[in-house]
Structure 1
Amino acid sequence: MSSDSRRFVSQLAHNEPVSQVFLASDKQLRPNRNGNLYLQVDLSDRSGSVNTRMWNATDNDYKAFDNGDYVHVEGATQLFQGNMQLIATRIRKARPDELDEGDFITLQSADIEKMRTRLTEILEQIQSTPLTRLAKGFLKDDAFMDKFCRAPAGMKNHHAYQGGLLEHVLSLMELVLAVAPKYPQLSQDKLLMGAFLHDAAKTDELFYDRDIGYTDAGQLLGHMVIGVSMLDEKVRQIVQQDGQPFPERLLIELKHLIISHHGEYEYGSPKLPMTLEAIVLHLLDNLDAKVASFSQLMADCPNSESNWTQYFSQIGRKLFKPEKED
């Protein structure tokens, strides 16, 4: 099915018949209140995802496809408590002739290559000698950079698509370049490196060949713990290569930037930000993530005729989406 004829998730309206291909993830076979089984699965394309249910499902329905498979789905949409969902009557693996992989790629390879070039340019602006050594160590690590440019920045909340990590980190680094010169007491070099490293371990926390999920290490450790280990290993490598020591206090400050960037204990931060750079990194990271996630909520809202979205319990509010100015 070509992109010209498909209805993307973001275009689906209430009570609309559906017969097309999606990417399946997070499938579960669950009992309802009466004990009857139903299949729940997230179906996605490059525009977003829709929660899908198949009533009166069997174990064979569950085993008919795997997470990460392209599936052909028949059913109809419905609005439920303000959210769009899809009620499927049939789900099967898609045939190759039914599939256009371009329908599932949010960022094209040319976009990713352009962002990678810009990321390299910014890191090469760093003046600090030890941080320059560290930046070069990561940039020359082809295996790491390949994963860094393919990884998503998260599962659902923001930049949850291949290339999303690179897009988020680059956006954050551009914010650092805009904000740091306004505050001479900040170290722009530390902030740039913190922006680069803060989510770098998403490369190993998540898997992302097709669908997105947590690796075992991601579930057991999380990207902040993995990120500190990743940083230690890279410092060890560059010291071994050039024979020059790496400043211990600087290394501690970089680790603090990684483990404090969530900002609050309730958001999973092991430490509160305690340096100026850590405080600013948290605020800028939160800004970029919030703009991306709120924009996605607005784009996915099924209330297309209203300037207001439905109420989102996860953020405790509706969102206003004014008409676009000419």
Structure 2
Amino acid sequence: MDDAADLELLTLTQLRQIAGPSPQPYRAHVQVDNRIEKQTAGGAPFLEVKLADAGDSMVWRVFDNNPLFHDARQLQRGSFIQLAAHWVDTGKYGIEPRQPQMRFLEDDEKQQLLSGDAELAERQRADYADIVAFVESVRDPRLKTLCSLFLEKHGDRFRRTAAARENHHARRGGLVEHVAQMMRTAVVIAGIYRTLNEDLLITGVLFHDCGKLWENTYPETGFSQPYQLHGEMLGHISLGIELVNKLWRDVMDRPEAATWMMLEPASDLVRMHLLHLIASHHGQYEFGSPVLPKTPEAIILHHVDNIDAKMEMLRRGYENGKELAPGIIERFRPWPVNVLLPLPSVTGLPEPALVKEEMMDALEE
């Protein structure tokens, strides 16, 4: 292999997009998320080392005949390494580094890695700004104060939490991306179905997965998503309900709460409707919701949540999936079937402004 320092530095997402059946030399900066030792069917030891960066993760399988087997066996969770290799897309097992060279990262390289991919970081900054703007648009002072208090107290943790461990937005800051897109969709729907309580819907979107701040969060300096006792014992729905009740009490203890006594609907009814949105957002008992959606806002929230999760899964599948035939992508977890590439929008038509101009000219004639 050429000098590793001369190789182009790529993110894991970029490696997935570029890697093919023929080996190509690149290097990646990653953090060790986990290391598990297993045995082949023949009894030989091998390692599964989960590696992660700001936007993606992969499993590096290191067999006992690999020159780096001993070094990889010593890797600790949280270690920062450079992996330079000839990268291959193996299909079933994803990308694989061939003839790898490994070293630990220097401090400045760690900081650069932790700052994340510039494009992803900018997108998440914009998403968070949109969330703040949506919160500012809430008219009900009780819900607006509740949302603002959440962002004030837990905004930093929110910004480093994933929306899931595997299936969708499973990356540092993924929950911010998910919530922002859900808010955009929910507000559009509320503009069509005018009887919906838009304030409640925006607030429900913000809080529906807030329990994941104690289930799917990342440490301040890393991409390893640890398991946490609260998340394992209670789950994010129960934790979300507990958090909202705590924040609600804090909001109602504020001096300005005295001016809300005459507001309708009554404050406790508003709180109960919000809790119902959190409790029912999975939509089905078998998916973990203790109750089914029973209000218009709860039904909309459930479907908006599901739509955004599914669209992210499709995006990932199109980006990383194996093309079985033109337009057909091999099924990927958790999708139950092969998926098809979408139909492109029509091209070759005049620009809308030109069509309008031609129509106006025709009317004048």
- The answer on whether the counterparts of 1:107 and 1:162 sit within 8 Å (CA) in structure 2 is no
Structure 1 residue 39 corresponds to structure 2 residue 44: no
Moved more, 248-257 or 16-25: 16-25
Distance in 1 separating the partners of 2:148 and 2:83: 45
Moved more, 95-104 or 204-213: 95-104
Judged with a 3 Å threshold, the aligned counterparts in structure 2 of structure 1 residues 94 and 17 are, in CA distance, closer, same or farther, namely farther
The higher radius of gyration belongs to 2
Distance in 1 separating the partners of 2:85 and 2:287: 39
Distance in 2 separating the partners of 1:2 and 1:283: 48
Judged with a 3 Å threshold, the aligned counterparts in structure 2 of structure 1 residues 49 and 313 are, in CA distance, closer, same or farther, namely closer
The aligned runs of 1:1-326 (5 Å cut-off) are 4-6=8-10, 8-16=15-23, 20-23=27-30, 24-45=32-53, 48-56=56-64, 61-67=72-78, 69-72=80-83, 74=85, 76-81=87-92, 83-86=93-96, 92-96=102-106, 101=113, 104-105=116-117, 107-139=119-151, 141=152, 143-209=153-219, 210-213=222-225, 214-242=227-255, 243-244=257-258, 247-303=267-323, 306-312=326-332, 314-321=334-341
Distance in 1 separating the partners of 2:59 and 2:324: 19
Give the aligned length. Answer: 323
Alpha-carbon offset, residue 184 of structure 1: 2.9
Percent of aligned positions with the same letter in both sequences? 23
Distance in 2 separating the partners of 1:261 and 1:26: 31
Alpha-carbon offset, residue 230 of structure 1: 1.1
Q: TM-score, normalised by structure 2?
A: 0.77
What amino acid does structure 2 have at the position aligned with 1:200?
C
Distance in 1 separating the partners of 2:70 and 2:276: 47
Distance in 1 separating the partners of 2:115 and 2:329: 26
- The answer on whether the counterparts of 1:152 and 1:162 sit within 8 Å (CA) in structure 2 is yes
Q: What SS does the corresponding residue of 2:185 show, helix, strand or coil?
A: helix
- The answer on whether the counterparts of 2:23 and 2:98 sit within 8 Å (CA) in structure 1 is no
Distance in 2 separating the partners of 1:223 and 1:241: 27
Q: TM-score, normalised by structure 1?
A: 0.85
Distance in 2 separating the partners of 1:8 and 1:234: 43
Alpha-carbon offset, residue 35 of structure 1: 2.6
Distance in 2 separating the partners of 1:116 and 1:78: 34
Distance in 2 separating the partners of 1:2 and 1:301: 29
Alpha-carbon offset, residue 111 of structure 1: 3.6
- The answer on whether the counterparts of 2:281 and 2:302 sit within 8 Å (CA) in structure 1 is yes
- The answer on whether the counterparts of 2:149 and 2:247 sit within 8 Å (CA) in structure 1 is yes
- Structure 1 residues not aligned, in runs of 5+: none
Distance in 2 separating the partners of 1:37 and 1:281: 47
Distance in 1 separating the partners of 2:119 and 2:100: 30
Moved more, 45-54 or 167-176: 45-54
